[in-house]
Amino acid sequence: MRRVCEKIVEGILTCSGFVTSVAVLLIVVFLFAEAMGLFNKKVVEEGYVLAVNKANPVRRLSALQIKEVFDGEITNWKELGGPDVGVTVFRLEDITAYFSEEELGDEYERAPRCVSRVVAGHPGIIAFVPARFVEKDFPGRLLDDECVSFGEVFAGKEWFPTATPAPLFGFLPLVAGTLWVGFFAILFALPFGLSVAVYMSEVAGRRTRGFLKPVIELLSGIPSVVYGFFGLIVVVPLLQRVFGLPVGETGLAGSVVLAVMALPTMITVAEDAMRNCPRAMREASLALGATRWQTIYKVVIPYSVSGIASGVVLGVGRAIGETMAVLMVTGNAAVIPSTLLEPLRTIPATIAAELGEAPSGGVHYEALFLLGVVLFFITMLINLGVEYISSKTGRSK
């Protein structure tokens, strides 16, 4: 009977592990499948076209060039390799400035013909109109509408998914903001976390350790939104006063809040690793004449490097993947940061803020899934790096 029960438990555990592995694999496959569709989508908004006069030799524009043209930053076709003619931007809502309601018809049934007349009569025009308004005998020429490219996404410096007529999906500001905040959060948390772990493991008495350990572990269970409120009410105004900033929602505020959030995990894991250092190694070090502090940083810490690295990885994972707290205190400006004292935006905050508003299956929706893929690779690379360091440390022992 006992053997039968063991077989049943073994089968349940095996099935659970298999189902869990398959579920994780399917999640990753789904993430990639949704993300890769972005590169099959057109640059110009679906259902619309960009048209120019037939005499204009320009045949294609990048998403950034289209945005600059429609924002008025590019005013002459010469800047785009075309003739020395001023750019005339035309949207469908501008048609009433060219034609009366009688000419357009009661239900705009003559609007396609009117659009054709506008394009034919203005050499420098660029018209953003619905594709159904382009007739068979259209006198203008449609610009080539290419698919979203890898370069525009991974080397793009602007994230503007609601831009019309061509949204911009440059990942650089978001990736830079994520790494910037995560790096400084760990830079702030690591010395404090290691110091507290050393104190609790090697210096503090039993009663002190018994009091501090549950308190620190309790901090890990506090919801991230509470840390966000703390950052918004305490950290943000403090940084604004200290540095004389116009706004306190900056990368530094995000790094400080994330450092506080990462500390409990780093302290707990590092302290457990240090306490697992064999007592014989401590006693041998002291017997050879080493002081208490020499024993800590020459024996205990090197022996516990693998566990400390695991704590750092868990802290980094929380810092890189944190959403709500960062969303509340970093200012959410999608710009490439140059200092910690300016607003920025991270990948998790962008996904959380925009996924609910992105139409399912649309280009914006797929761009957010691709951001999730990028975050997946960032986390995986960090884990692989720490695993490599831990394996080298293990061999050196």
- Domain map of the chain by residue range? 48-152, 172-396
The number of beta carbons lying within 10 Å of the beta carbon of residue 20 is 10
- The C-alpha atoms of residue 5 and residue 92 are separated, in whole angstroms, by 74
Residue 160, CB-side half-sphere exposure with 13 Å CA sphere:
17
345 sits in the region (left: phi over 0; alpha: psi -120 to 50; else beta) called beta
- The C-alpha atoms of residue 102 and residue 91 are separated, in whole angstroms, by 19
Question: Which pLDDT score is estimated for 27?
Answer: 85
- 146 exposure class (CB count in 10 Å sphere: 0-12, 13-18, 19+): middle
SS3 at position 345: coil
Question: Which pLDDT score is estimated for 113?
Answer: 92
The two structure tokens encoding residue 340: 């910690």
The two structure tokens encoding residue 204: 């503090």
- The C-alpha atoms of residue 268 and residue 263 are separated, in whole angstroms, by 8
- Indicate the residue type of 158: E
Q: What is the mean pLDDT of the chain?
A: 88
- The C-alpha atoms of residue 329 and residue 233 are separated, in whole angstroms, by 10
**Are the C-beta atoms of 167 and 63 separated by less than 8 Å?**
yes
How do beta strands 88-91 and 125-130 pair?
Answer: parallel
Task: Report the alpha-carbon angle 315-197-267, nearest 5.
Answer: 25
Q: What is the pLDDT of residues 100-141, one digit of tens each?
A: 888 888 888 888 999 999 999 999 999 999 998 888 888 899
Question: Which pLDDT score is estimated for 393?
Answer: 57
- The C-alpha atoms of residue 314 and residue 311 are separated, in whole angstroms, by 5
Question: Which pLDDT score is estimated for 389?
Answer: 66
Rg (alpha carbons) of the chain, rounded to whole number: 29
- The C-alpha atoms of residue 102 and residue 122 are separated, in whole angstroms, by 22
- The C-alpha atoms of residue 52 and residue 261 are separated, in whole angstroms, by 54
Strands in 125-130's sheet, in edge-to-edge order, are 88-91, 125-130, 48-52, 141-142
Question: Which pLDDT score is estimated for 392?
Answer: 63
> Residue for token digits 């020459």?
298
Q: Report the topology of domain 172-396.
A: MetI-like fold (1.10.3720)
Q: What is the pTM of this model?
A: 0.86
Q: Report the topology of domain 48-152.
A: D-Maltodextrin-Binding Protein; domain 2 (3.40.190)
The two structure tokens encoding residue 99: 């034609």
Instruction: Please tell me if the domain spanning 48-152 has the same topology as the one spanning 172-396.
Output: no
The number of beta carbons lying within 10 Å of the beta carbon of residue 243 is 12
**Are the C-beta atoms of 393 and 312 separated by less than 8 Å?**
no
| Residue (of 76, 322, 71) closest to 189 by Cα position | 322
Is the dihedral angle over the CA atoms 339, 341, 346, 348 positive or is it negative?
A: positive
Question: Which pLDDT score is estimated for 387?
Answer: 72
Question: Which pLDDT score is estimated for 313?
Answer: 80
* Stretches in the chain below the pLDDT threshold 70: 389-397
φ, ψ at 253 (rounded to 5°): -60, -45
- The C-alpha atoms of residue 92 and residue 95 are separated, in whole angstroms, by 6
